[in-house]
Every structure is written in C-alpha cells, then in structure tokens.
Structure 1
Amino acid sequence: MEQVKDTGRALVRIGYDGRVHKTFRGHLAQERFEHEVRVLRHLEAAGCTFVPRLLEVDPTQLKIITTHCGGRVDHMNEQRQQELFAELEKYGVRHEDRDLRNITYRIADGRFCIIDFEFATLLEGGENSSLKPSAAQ
C-alpha cells in the first residue's frame, strides 16, 4: 500500500486495488470517524458523484475504505475552487476545509472531486451536524 498521509489525526493509504484506507486517530477520533461516515452516506444517498463512495466501515478500528477519487491537484484558481465547493452545497453539505489539498482530479472522467469530510457541515442535519475545527477543539 502507498502511504498518502500520516498525521496525528489520520493515516491514509491507497491499496494496490485502488481503494483508499483511512484510519482516524487522535483528538475526537471516534466523533470525526462517525461524522465522516454520516456525511459520505448522505452524499451517496443524494447522488453526489464527485466524492469518495464508502465501501467498508470498521467502527472497531475507526477505519473507512472508500473509492479513489484521483490524484491531488497542485494548482487551481480561487474562483474555480469556490465553484467546486459551492456545487457540493447543492447536495446539502458545506465543506469546512476548503483547501486545495481536499480537491483531487479523476482522470477516468475528467472530473474534479472533493475529499476529506470529517469537519463538513450537513446543512439540514440539525444538532451535531458539524465538527468544524473551531467546534472540535
């Protein structure tokens, strides 16, 4: 497996089969795991096709396995970034970490995608609909 990210909050690796393995750790790991699972399930039910799709969920290891959404994007103008994150809001989710590192490019269909939803806000989620860093710290 190729290691993509290894921080105090998560270990992310891409398997030889192309699936992405994300293990949550550190501060509020359980809550961030549960929240990302909830957001990804919401987006799948809403028909959003430019985010990872959950393939497996392991609550005992705080691990999810998702589809791969392409490679990281090194350059994108600010307006295009904002358009992409605004498109996500049409599916009822506001991404609270609108950084370029959370945008990928999927060569298979020429689509920019968005990843990393542990701090996203479910716009119609009511109580506990967000784990924004300011709320999680």
Structure 2
Amino acid sequence: MREAKNTARAIVHIGYDGKVYKQFKGHHARERFENEVRVLKLLEERGCNYVPRLLESDPEELKIVTTNCGSIVTHISEKRIKELFGELERDYGVRHEDAFARNITYRASDGRFCLIDFELATILDEPPKPAA
C-alpha cells in the first residue's frame, strides 16, 4: 500500500488493489466517519457517478474502503472548481463544505473530474419518501 495522505484528520492509503483505505483520527473522528459514510451512501442512491463508491466501513476502527476516483488534480481554475462543487449541490443536494482543489481528482478512464473527501459535507435535502 502507498500512503497518499497523513494529516491530523485521516490517514489514507491506496492499496495495490486500487482501492482507497481511509482511517479517521483526531477531533470528532467518529462524527466525520459517520458523516462520510452517510453522504457516500446517499450519493450512490442518487446516482452520482463522480464520487467514490463506499465498499466497506468499520465503525469500530473508524475505517472506510472506497473505489479510487483517479489522480489528484494539480492545476484547475477557480471557475471550474466552483462549477464542480455547484453541480454536486444542485444535482444531488449535497454541499461539500471543503470545496478546494485538494478534493478533486481526475479519472482518466472517462476524462471526468471527480470529488472526494465528504467527511464535512452537508446533506441539504433528504430523498423523497416513497408513497404509502
């Protein structure tokens, strides 16, 4: 495994299998873990195809395993950053709350910018309830 990030909030490794392994640590680790799990599940339910898919979560160890959404972006305009995070909010009802280039990746397989790191995100609306 290759360490991709080690900060006060999380340790992230990219496995030889291509999956992303993230362990939450530090201040409010449990809350951030639970929020990222909730948001990723919601985005999958809503059909968002440019965020990681949650493959596993371990609430005891505060770890998640997700699909890999590509390489970190090093050059992107502020206008494009606003467009990407605005699309997430407009189309999927999620405000990222950490809308910076460090949370954007590029998926070469389809030429798509993707968004990562949803531990601080806010769900703006709940999915519609099924009719009874």
How many angstroms apart in 1 are the aligned matches of 2:105 and 2:48?
15
How many angstroms apart in 1 are the aligned matches of 2:58 and 2:31?
14
Q: Describe the SS at the equivalent of 1:4.
A: strand
Match of 2:130 in 1: none
Q: Deviations over 1:37-91 (max 9, x none)?
A: 0000000000000000000011110000000000000111111111111111110
Displaced runs of 4 or more, over 6 A = none
Match of 1:7 in 2: 7
How many angstroms apart in 2 are the aligned matches of 1:26 and 1:82?
29
TM-score, L = length of structure 1: 0.90
Q: Describe the SS at the equivalent of 1:44.
A: helix
Count of aligned pairs: 125
Q: Describe the SS at the equivalent of 1:76.
A: coil
Match of 1:54 in 2: 54
**1:115 paired to 2:103:** no
Match of 2:77 in 1: 77
Question: Which residue identity is paired with 1:112?
Answer: F
Question: How well do the aligned residues superpose, as a CA RMSD in angstroms?
Answer: 0.7
**Where does the alignment leave 5 or more consecutive residues of structure 2 unmatched?**
127-132
TM-score, L = length of structure 2: 0.93
| Same amino acid, percent of matched pairs | 64
Question: Which residue identity is paired with 1:69?
Answer: C
Match of 1:22 in 2: 22
